[in-house]
Amino acid sequence: MNKVAALLALALAAFILVACGGDDSDTTPTGGGETTQEAETDGQENAGGGAEGGGAGATLSFEADPEGALAYTATEATAKAGKVTVEFDNPQSLTHDVAIEDSSGKEVGATELIADSSDSTTVNLKPGTYTFFCSVPGHREAGMEGTLTVE
Ligand SMILES: [Cu+2]
């Protein structure tokens, strides 16, 4: 009986060790793996952007509020780094555009100022947070802006 009890205790101890070890080894490699995957993904994205060269690049579509408000239909947008086509549809008779500036306030691109029309432009975006807004005086302040996240 003593032997059996000892074996059971050993088995239990081994199980606990394995379980704990399993958790540890799960946690550590997963964390490291994620870091590696992120690095690899970034590399692939960069490589992909370079290979695509903007040909099959992403398109960002913006629209001024069809009801006539000083707003776009979205206040958030996301895009992948690289060449991005910015499309803007303005159904209003009021003139608007879509300008994009980086986090330092430097404008990286803008569509034409248009009314009851649409326009598009191409911008080269690096990963980061940008602001898109209407450059007509007062419109941005009135709410015609949003955040563009580039990954
Ligand atoms: Cu405007």
| Domain ranges for the chain | 1-52, 58-150
- CA of 66 from ligand 1 middle (Å) equals 12
- What would the CATH number be for the domain defined by 58-150? 2.60.40.420
Determine which of 25-29, 95-99, 108-112 has the lowest per-residue pLDDT on average: 25-29
- Residue with the larger pLDDT of the pair 67 and 9: 67
- CA of 96 from ligand 1 middle (Å) equals 4
pLDDT interval class at 136 (50, 70, 90): very high
Contact at 8 Å (CB) between 97 and 114?
A: yes
First and final C-alpha spacing in the chain:
64
- CA of 69 from ligand 1 middle (Å) equals 9
pTM: 0.63
- CA of 133 from ligand 1 middle (Å) equals 8
- CA of 33 from ligand 1 middle (Å) equals 46
Per-residue pLDDT reduced to its tens digit, 48-65: 333 344 445 689 999 999
